[in-house]
Amino acid sequence: MGMKLPEWRNGASRVRLTLYAATGHADAVIKPNERQEAFLKALSVGDRIGTREFLKRFGAGISERQARRDLGELEDAGFLERVGAGPTTAYERTEKPR
């Protein structure tokens, strides 16, 4: 995931462990599920979609939480870019190829 290895440091009276976060989304690799694959095929670069529209078009039988998870995974992998926040959050298709 592009993370730097943890670092241990011994001091006179303490031990410190430093954990580093992932350096970016470009390193994330996922195998899209059927919903995500259909979604990626349907959207063109620059198209935007919200969670509820994703549910209506691609999420038959899944919860809103699962829809957000699907979109978040695609965002982490670099296929989508989050635009806005809260209830107005939308996801824009990036130029990253499938």
Q: Is residue 60 part of a domain?
A: yes
Per the CB < 8 A criterion, the answer to whether 94 and 79 are in contact is yes
pLDDT tens digit sequence for 53-72: 999 999 989 999 999 999 99
By residue range, what is the domain housing residue 52?
28-93
CATH of the domain at 70: 1.10.10.10
Q: Is residue 20 part of a domain?
A: no
Q: Is residue 13 part of a domain?
A: no
- Residue 83 predicted with pLDDT over 90: yes
Q: Is residue 15 part of a domain?
A: no
Burial of 90 (0-12, 13-18, 19+ CB in 10 A): middle
pTM above 0.85, yes or no: no
